[in-house]
Chains A and B, each alone.
Chain A
Amino acid sequence: MKIALLPTGRTEWHGLPGALKNLFPAEPAHEFYVVPTAAEIRSNPDGFPYPGFTTTPLRAAHETSPPEAAEELVGRAAQEALGDRGVSPADLVIVLDDLELANSGQADRVCRVFCAAVQGHLAKLGAGGRSTRMQKIFRERVSFHLLVPMIEAIFFADPGALKTSGVPEAMPVDFAPTCDPEDFQTSDTMYLAETAAACPCWSGLPRHRQKRLRPKWLGDVDRARHPKGYLQWLCRDGEASNCTRYNESSDGGKALAGLDWAAVMRRPAEQMQYIRAFVADLEDALGQAPITGAVAGQQARDTSRFTPRTRPVLRNL
């Protein structure tokens, strides 16, 4: 089968197709591919070609007037599901956005906003055949899933992934195995107390460059709950202009591609609910259990394909 993945970050863009190929091995292999194209990625050297829509808190108003970033994702998903001249449509299209800390606790709203973006897109196509056809395509072949709070959380379920990301062997990692990576929390006192003094190179940069290169943990965020911030700090390097050796594309992508899915899926049944919903959706679409066995444990109600819905808009919403 042909599966289009629409992530909103470079780590997923680089690593997710490989990770899912490992999770769903098949002969012939399923075609997992990412959108945007490699050319578009290269053409946007200073950022991902489009932003996610959960970086700022979503409000009730967004449920009727979704942010442009959500509309962009919907439009791209529609094109992959439709196919084009000489390009066959994807059998399954999965949009993946982070449930950033700014929207922590309101996954239901994030999902409603995405549904509103789909409805808005259909409305723009006008009444008639094209819109009706797209409505059916969205319902049958497009899903929206959440990475909670972001892709780096999953690395804390797999010590091998942390190592591949660049965390030094001897570096103690303060993340209890009993904790849910999707409800990430560290109590690493050194990390929580760290200041910009750990980043002499970054501190020496002119102010206009500091914002772009500031490590996540040094920003105005809930540091204890920020897995990417913690990962950057675990890989900190005061001589690097962004104060870390961790590179989302190369290190993060490699760690994700080589993820130990068994380690992830054997977390306690109530953990990793959003990842379980994602993998279960794939299992259903591909008609094949993942290499780790049929998905067990709890799935997030918001994004599970198997949550009963009276008027579904997508496969899982």
Chain B
Amino acid sequence: MLTTMPGYTIQAQNFRVLDHLEWSPGGVCLLCGPNGSGKSTVLDALWFLRTLFERGHESALAAVGGQYFRKLDAPEDEPVEFTLTVGDIVWKLRFPMSIAGLRGSFGEELYRGGELVLRAGMFDEGWYLGTERHARDEVRCCARVLWDRGESEWMQPLANLLSGIRVYKSYWLNQVQRQEQTSARDSYLERSGRNLWSVLANWKASPRHYHDQFEWVMSAAREAFPELIATVEFDRGLPYIYAPGATEAEQGLPPSRAAEGLLTGLLHLTAVAGAKPGSILAFDEMENQLHPHAIRSLLSAMRRSAGERDLTIVLTTHSPVVLNSFRDEPEQVYVLDRTCKTVPTPMTELHTEDWLAQAKLGTLYERLAFAAPRIDGTEP
């Protein structure tokens, strides 16, 4: 049975180009803004929090690049702050950063129902659980230490949310194109996408265990790329892509011969199919390498899956095709606008629905009606 995730909000201050981020995404939603407005930075904030909880702050900083972590024009004494609110749980983090990196221990607070449960001050080598003082763990953040004790069931929504974050920014297509032996261990798609074939092979081998995820991916891929793919088969651990009508074994194409758009589509679909219910998935510029038909088809598959499994799917885009597919739900489109102190702003707060209904969103985007760079109006 589908259990619905409690509402959540992510906040960040002074993180890279963002003054103040405050966002509660849900369903399939779109982030748009001019180049450099912070779309990818929002995704990095999500990935940072996940990695911090899963693998500690050093890995988290490395995952998103510890240098230039703080907004360049932020006052030096202001830390980079993150707050994640899940239901009645609030996790606050403060990072004293210089341009070069972390200046000392970071601050951390965890609240349950408004009550402070744990606290670690910035530059303090210890932390408090209630009134008990503890030494910091070398790797894990304090919230993780508490969760690992197994005595704080109430933290489950926070832990679930964090472990369910997946951010796909740029796939390593050159690795996906290599025909390498699949591994029996992979059951979900890595951030780089390089284990695509292993994941698909395992899903295909155990359809009941993996809820027919392989067939879901193939079915959606056939819709998106009708001339290119009927199925993928594995021969002695090596993947072969079969186009519709291919009947002979030698008609199977190795990944190196497949269209890059098809591989990208398979990666997107595999990422979605492998996500646990309630997860947050993010795709940076999902439209890259894709034909408009494929974009629309993949978005439709994402929407179906998000609805069935309570997924949050965050997409960043510059594509009018992607934007147009949100014509009937402009409230799912969020704009990163440098003139707003807090971002992102829901499109429906910037423009009335009546006004938006007069043109396609992609057309309005192209016309610079929203999410546009600041352009001096004088003709060159």
Contacts and interface: CB of A to CB of B under 8 A. Distances in A.
Nearest to A45: B380
A78 B351 contact: no
Contact of B355 (A39, A82, A249): A82
B114 interface: no
A125 B328 CA distance: 11
Contact of A82 (B354, B363, B372, B374): B354
Given A39-B372, A41-B377, A42-B376, A49 B358 contact: no
A38 to B, nearest CB: 3
Q: Which of B352, B374, B380 is most buried by chain A, counting CB atoms within 10 A of its CB?
A: B352
Interface string B178-214: 0000000000000000000000000000000000000
Contact of A42 (B358, B363, B379): B379
B28 to A, nearest CB: 23
Nearest to A14: B379
Nearest to B349: A85
Nearest to A38: B377
A41 B367 CA distance: 9
B355 A42 contact: no
Q: Would you call the interface of chain B mostly helix, strand, loop, or mixed?
A: loop
Contacts of B358: 75-76, 78-79, 82, 121, 125, 134
A177 B336 CA distance: 57
How many chain A residues sit at the interface, stated as a range, is 20 to 34
A83 B355 contact: yes
B375 interface: yes
A22 to B, nearest CB: 22
Q: Which of A41, A45, A79, A84 is most buried by chain B, counting CB atoms within 10 A of its CB?
A: A79
Interface in A28-67: 36-43, 45, 49
Contacts of B354: 82, 130, 133
B351 A39 contact: no
Contacts of B372: 39
Contact of B352 (A36, A45, A85, A133): A85
Contacts of A49: 367
Q: Which of B355, B367, B377, B378 is most buried by chain A, counting CB atoms within 10 A of its CB?
A: B367
B340 interface: no
A78 B354 CA distance: 10
Interface in B345-366: 349-352, 354-355, 357-359, 363
Contact of A43 (B349, B357, B359, B368): B368
A137 B133 CA distance: 69
A39 B368 contact: yes
A37 B351 contact: no
Interface in A278-308: none
A36 B351 contact: no
Contacts of B379: 41-42, 249
B371 to A, nearest CB: 13
Contacts of B380: 42, 45
B162 to A, nearest CB: 36
Given A37-B368, A40-B367, A82-B352, A125 B357 contact: yes
Contacts of A85: 349-352, 355
B377 A39 contact: yes
A76 B352 CA distance: 15
A158 B358 CA distance: 39
B362 to A, nearest CB: 12
A133 B374 CA distance: 33
Contacts of B377: 37-39, 41-42
Given A75-B359, A130-B357, A42 B375 contact: yes
Contacts of A43: 368, 375
B363 to A, nearest CB: 8
B347 to A, nearest CB: 11
B355 A40 contact: no
Nearest to A83: B355
A121 B363 CA distance: 15
Interface string A64-75: 000000001001
A26 to B, nearest CB: 25
Interface in B144-176: none
19 contacts: A36-B367, A37-B377, A38-B375, A38-B377, A39-B368, A39-B372, A42-B375, A42-B376, A42-B379, A42-B380, A43-B368, A43-B375, A75-B363, A78-B358, A79-B358, A82-B354, A83-B355, A85-B349, A133-B354
Q: Top 8 nearest A-B pairs by Cβ distance? A: A38-B377, A39-B375, A78-B358, A75-B359, A84-B355, A79-B358, A75-B358, A40-B368
Given A85-B350, A85-B355, 14 more contacts: A36-B367, A37-B377, A38-B377, A39-B372, A39-B376, A41-B377, A42-B379, A49-B367, A75-B358, A79-B359, A82-B352, A85-B349, A85-B351, A121-B358
